Amino acid sequence: MSNFSFAVLISGNGSNLGSMINHIKENKIPGKICCVVSNNPEAYGIQRAKDAGIPYEIINNKEFKSREEFDYSLVKKLKKYKPDLIVLAGFMRILSNVFIEAYDQRILNIHPSLLPKHPGLNTHKRAIESGDKYHGITIHFVDESLDGGPICAQSKIKINDSDQKKLETRIHQLEHELYPKVIRWYAEGRLEVNGEFVTLDNKKITLN
């Protein structure tokens, strides 16, 4: 898909966005980022978009009365960019059906745990406190459930100690490697949703 383009939705630092920008420069992701959208006017990721010359939009969720109103505005704003895929990269909003239906099976999210373990927030802390041997990341298509939806890929590391900061740094490294790879699979038409599971090159993805 040579004209492939995707939109990246952020709320904060945008380190995954930075990784995607680098992968595009190195021709490891075909296509381009058509726009970056942030719900947080203070997000550092906006500066990353500016520096890379990528169009950006700020839609402050605090200016809307409901989740649905915000999502309507988001859908309307994205229409002019015509993205083939929506990539959530630290986007701290639960999307409503308004948005999910507009981009059905075209929204990817990354979550810092080995789903279905530890959905929600504070995953590094919870993984350590639960005595988990392994921690990792999950990339999945978004549906109506919280951190649910068909899984595309996972990557894991061994938990060596109880240092939460160290663990978080190691998890970020996994994210920056795996997320661009999954976006490339999608751009190349190799990744497809088949009901509750995902296929890569027509083979069902199985998790470790």
Which residues are catalytically annotated? 111
Pick from 66, 74, 64: nearest CA to 37: 74
Catalogue the long-range contacts made by 182-186 (C-beta closer than 8 Å, 24 or more residues apart): 182/108, 182/139, 182/152, 182/153, 183/6, 183/20, 183/23, 183/29, 183/85, 183/87, 183/108, 184/23, 184/28, 184/29, 184/30, 185/152, 186/85, 186/108
Measured between alpha carbons, how far is 181 from 178 in angstroms, rounded to an integer? 5
